[in-house]
């Protein structure tokens, strides 16, 4: 298992490999339960970094920046399919990005993350491409 900090961005075993519009961004087991890794926007052509989060046995991919203030959601509290912003405690549902409480009022964008063998494959939301 990867034990680096979110600030380390992509774990050493992870790589970004483009296949069509999808990117292999890691392997099963790279992310511990209720933890995240951050895929830099420059690697996948998105407007924001993407947080790939493992919670409740499911992988999710969302824009990494809180819609209320500029904070990394990957650095927030993750539990029960939700993430809490580390600055002002805005909460977002990981499955669809909907804000669950103030101060956030706008959803965070979601992306498609799938498992292909042992690979985590990210397909960026077309509305969030740079």
The CATH number of 6-128, from 3.40.50.620, 3.40.50.11060, 1.10.3720.10, 2.102.10.10, is 2.102.10.10
Q: Is the pLDDT of residue 20 over 90?
A: no
Q: Where are the domains of the chain?
A: 6-128
User: In the predicted model, what is the mean pLDDT of residues 87-93?
Assistant: 96
User: In the predicted model, what is the mean pLDDT of residues 21-42?
Assistant: 93
**Residue that is written with structure tokens 């774990």 in the block:** 11
Q: Is the pLDDT of residue 21 over 90?
A: no
Which tokens is 84 given?
Answer: 């809490």
Instruction: Tell me the pLDDT of the chain averaged across its residues.
Output: 88
Closest to 69 (Cα-Cα) out of 42, 104, 41: 104
The answer to whether residues 36 and 130 touch, using CB atoms and an 8 Å cutoff, is no
d(CA 30, CA 6): 12
Distances in Å between the Cα of 128 and the Cα atoms of 7, 26, 46 are 22, 21, 6
């Amino acid at each position: 298992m990867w034990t680096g900090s979110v600030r380390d961005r992509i774990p050493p075993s992870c790589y970004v490999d483009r296949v069509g519009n999808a990117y292999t961004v890691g392997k099963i087991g790279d992310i511990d339960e209720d933890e995240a890794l951050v895929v830099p926007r420059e690697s996948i052509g998105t407007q924001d970094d993407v947080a790939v989060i493992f919670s409740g046995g499911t992988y999710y991919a969302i824009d990494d920046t809180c819609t209320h203030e500029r904070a990394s959601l990957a650095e927030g509290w993750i539990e029960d399919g939700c993430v809490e912003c580390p600055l002002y405690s805005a909460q977002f549902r990981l499955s669809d990005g909907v804000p669950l409480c103030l101060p956030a009022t706008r959803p965070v964008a979601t992306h498609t993350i799938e498992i292909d063998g042992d690979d985590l494959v990210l397909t960026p939301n077309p509305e969030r491409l740079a």
